[in-house]
Amino acid sequence: MDYHLLARQLEALSEGERSWLPLLSNASALLDGALDDINWVGFYLVQDDEKGVPELVLGPFQGKVACARIAWGSGVCGTAAAADTAQRVDDVHEFAGHIACDGASNSEMVFPLHRDGAVWGVLDIDSPSPARFSSEDQEGLETFVRALEAALAATR
């Protein structure tokens, strides 16, 4: 997989875009079409709940129906957001507190997305295959995420 090409394709798609919604929608579609052996790809965005506690709320995605909200620090997505670090999980069933939105998922990668110096959301990618994601995938997708963050900086 040529992740640098994928990042350049995202940059071309985002050129002149002023809103985060179509940007994330196209980013999820781009990844869904480019990545083999995945069953869900999309975004969860940080939003405070009624008590002012941050949580992750479902954003644009490709795949089956998903969990609408994820508690901060819960599951792979909430852990990535709270720790502000990428999570690569070879077997989600061995991840303490894993949230099974789709029982067919067996491995997962999640990347924090930053905007204005803070975690703004996460990119979540699931696969039905155990250990689907390699360190090369993680490194390449981090390139994609940096391009996405740069495009997000120009949106409102």
How far apart CA 81 and CA 70 sit, in angstroms, is 10
User: Domain of 52: which CATH number?
Assistant: 3.30.450.40
**Chain position carrying tokens 């696969």:** 127
Q: Note the pLDDT of residue 103.
A: 76
Specify the amino acid at residue 136.
Answer: E
Q: Please give the share of the chain, as a percent, with pLDDT higher than 70.
A: 100
pLDDT of residue 98: 76
For 67, residues 6+ apart whose C-beta sits below 8 A from its C-beta are: 58, 99, 101
Per-residue pLDDT tens over the stretch 127-153: 999 999 999 999 999 999 999 999 999
Total count of domains within the chain: 1
By residue range, what is the domain housing residue 116?
3-152
Q: How far apart are CA 27 and CA 32, in angstroms?
A: 9
pTM over 0.85: yes
